Structure 1
Amino acid sequence: MKALLCEEPGQLKLVSRSAPVRGEGEVLVRIRYVGICGTDFHIFAGKHPFLEYPRVMGHELSGIVEEAPADSALKAGDPVYIVPYLSCGHCHACNKGLTNACYNIQVLGVHCDGGMAEYVSVPQANVVPTGNIPLEDAAMIEFLAIGAHGIKRGNVTASDRVLITGSGPIGMSAIIFAKARGAHVTVMDTRQDRLRFAVDQLGADAILMADEHAEEEAQHLTEGNGFDVVVDATGNATPMQRGFNFLAHGARYVLLSVVRQDITFSDPDFHKREITLYASRNAQPDDFAEVVRQMEAGKVPTRALNTHRGRLDDAVTLLPEWSKPEAGVIKAILEV
């Protein structure tokens, strides 16, 4: 089968390797679509903290069942999406239902080879029918679930003023699911085009330019109180630390981003305002189900989000181009 291999940072190669053999309790899936994530671009650039090379990337996956266990509800030909978090099922976290934070987690395309290939074989529990959702849209379910999980972690309600910092795809997913809960959503970024998209396509209520006046403007927008929830989706330590400046007393701060370096904050200010700080990692089954519900309800503008398309055969040249800011990529999808 064909597979796209990142041999080392900046080096991609389309290779031929043996197709996987379905293991016991696994489903063999013929991959049809792969969403390209910021994680993939970070792997390509050598910036991901949890990865060793070489690696076949790809964790936003949809396809067709090729072969399933005899006792499975799945059968050959079924359209499916893949939950890419391979949890052990028996560690302390898994026993508490925190499969997204499994002690022994293997994320496809990060800890082990992923789906930028013609076939993958994964545990049956990680393969879910797409229902009424087209396969190309189903390849976007995983990144949307990341945002849904972060909004859930922040306990966002309709009475909250929410600030989402960073309006890349993950930030956009957070906007979608904060709005789905009825919150008032402000988006902060350095890019006017992304801010316009957040308002015009995603229903954001207000915008903030991430400049030297942002804190002052935020006070104006919130009558001097700050935001009830701040969600960071920047992937950059400096704005992650700056995010503490926008929090109201009793606020919640959700870090969707992960970076290699430490981040710091003022402990007296943190205590004075009794802030709650949340890490948000991956997503859980109910987050995927929430994405599907909102897609079926027409609340996810999939056509607007999917700005770029290409073929796996051309990915060696496409990915470096798509990684450039001037390419204007929101969500790129490879067809296999």
Structure 2
Amino acid sequence: MKVLLCDEPGRLRLTERPEPVPAEGEALVRIRRVGICGTDFHIYQGKHPFLQYPRVMGHELSGTIERAPAGSGLVAGQNCYIVPYLSCGHCVACRKGVTNACQNISVLGVHCDGGMAELISVPARNVVPVGDTPLDDAAMIEFLAIGAHGVKRGGIAAEDRVLVVGSGPIGMSAVIFAKARGAHVTVMDLREDRLAFTQDALGADALLRADDEAEAKAGAATAGDFYDCVIDCTGNRAAMQRGFGFVGHGGRYVLVSVVRDDIVFSDPEFHKRETTLFASRNAQPDDFAEVVRQMQAGRVPTRALRTHRGALADGPELFRDWLRPEAGVIKAILEL
């Protein structure tokens, strides 16, 4: 089968590998679409801290079931998406049902080879039929689920005043699902084009440029109350630390972003506001289901989000092109 392999940073090549043989309890899926995310670009650029090369990337996956184990409920020929988080099922997190925080988690395309290949074999519990959902849309469910999980972690409700910091794809997902809950959503970033997109295509209620005057402008816009919930999706240490200052008294702060550095904040301010701080890691099954529900309800503008596409065989050239800021990529899809 054909596989797009990242041999080392900056080097992708199309090669051949034997077709996978499903182990007991695994389903064989023919991959049809692969969504490209920031993690894939970081792997390609050599910026991912926990990765060994060579690696087959790809964790935003949709395809068609080729073979499924008896009793799994899966049927050959069904279109599906793949949950890329392979949990152990027996650690303390898994026993609590928090499989997204599994102590032994292995993520397709990161810790083990992923779906930039014609076929993949994964545990049947990680394969979810999508019915009439188009394969293009199904390949976008995973990244949208991350934003949905962050919104859930923040306990966002109708009438909440929410600030989403960072208008990349995950930040956009947080906007979509916060709006779906009836919140008033402000988006903060430095990129004017991304800010405009969140308002024009996603319905953001207000925009805030992340300049030196952002705190003063946020205070003026909220009559000094600031925000019930702040969701950081920047992946930037300085921005994550700055975000504490935008949380209103009694508010919540959700860190969807993760960095290797320590995050430092003012303890007196943290206590004065009785801030609640949440980490948000990956997503859970109900987050994936929420994405599908909102897609079916027409609240996820997948066509607007899906800005670029190309064939798996053209991946080496496409990655170089899509990395350029002027390319304007929001979500790119590789087709097989």
Mapping of 1:2-151 within 5 angstroms? 2-151=2-151
CA distance in 1, matches of 2:317, 2:159: 46
User: What's the secondary structure of 2:32's corresponding residue?
Assistant: strand
Deviation, 1:117, is 0.7
- The equivalent residue for 1:167 is 167
SS at match of 2:115: coil
Secondary structure of the 1:186 match is strand
* 1:217 to partner: Cα distance: 0.5
Whole-Å separation in 1 of the counterparts to 2:322 and 2:240: 25
Q: Distance in 2 between matches of 1:20 and 1:95?
A: 30
2:303 maps to 303
Asked if the contact 1:132/1:296 (under 8 Å) is kept, the reply is no
| Distance in 1 (alpha carbons) for counterparts of 2:50 and 2:256 | 15
* Residue 215 of structure 1, CA deviation: 0.6
Contact 1:235 1:258 in 2 (8 A): yes
Contact 1:10 1:45 in 2 (8 A): yes
1:273-303 Cα distance to aligned partner (Å, 9 max, x none): 1111111000000000000000000000010
Q: Does 1:201 align with 2:201?
A: yes
Matched, 1:248 2:248: yes
Is 1:192 aligned with 2:186? no
Q: What is the CA-CA distance between 1:111 and the residue it aligns to?
A: 0.7
Aligned partner of residue 174 in structure 1, secondary structure: helix
Q: How many residues align?
A: 336
Q: State the 1:132 CA deviation.
A: 2.0
**Comparing 295-304 with 73-82, which one deviates more in the overlay?**
73-82
Any idea what SS the aligned residue of 1:117 has? coil
**2:78 and 2:131 in contact (8 A); partners too:** no
Confirm or deny: 8 A CA contact 1:167 1:187 kept in the other structure.
yes
What is the one-letter code of the residue matched to 2:151?
Answer: I
Q: Which amino acid aligns with 1:138?
A: A
The residue type paired with residue 125 of structure 1 is R
Normalized against structure 1, the TM-score is what?
0.98
Shift of 1:159: 2.4
Contact 1:32–1:64, Cα closer than 8 Å, also in 2: yes
Q: Which is further off, 313-322 or 66-75?
A: 66-75
Secondary structure at the residue paired with 1:263?
coil
Q: Which moved more, 1:49-58 or 1:322-331?
A: 49-58
Structure 1 residue runs without a partner (length 5+):
none
> Could you list the runs of 5+ residues in structure 2 that have no partner in the other structure?
none
Q: TM-score, normalised by structure 2?
A: 0.98
Of stretches 321-330 and 290-299 in structure 1, the one that deviates more from structure 2 is 321-330
Instruction: Give the conservation status (yes or no) of the 8 Å contact 2:29–2:64.
Output: yes
Structure 1 stretches of at least 4 aligned residues deviating more than 3 Å after TM superposition: none
1:95 Cα deviation from its structure 2 partner = 0.3
CA contact (8 A) 1:49 1:259 kept: no
- Give the distance between the partners of 2:24 and 2:324, measured in 1 at CA: 42
Q: Is residue 228 of structure 2 the alignment partner of residue 231 of structure 1?
A: no
Distance 2:153 2:43 in 1: 26
Distance, in Å, in 2 between the alignment partners of 1:114 and 1:73 is 23
Q: CA RMSD in A?
A: 0.9
Q: Deviations over 1:218-249 (max 9, x none)?
A: 00111111111000011111111111111101
Kept in 2: contact 1:185–1:205 (CA 8 A)? yes
Farther-moved stretch of structure 1 (274-283 vs 42-51): 42-51
Could you say which residue in structure 2 is the equivalent of 1:320?
320
- 1:144–1:173: 8 Å Cα contact kept in structure 2? yes
Q: CA deviation at 1:72?
A: 2.8
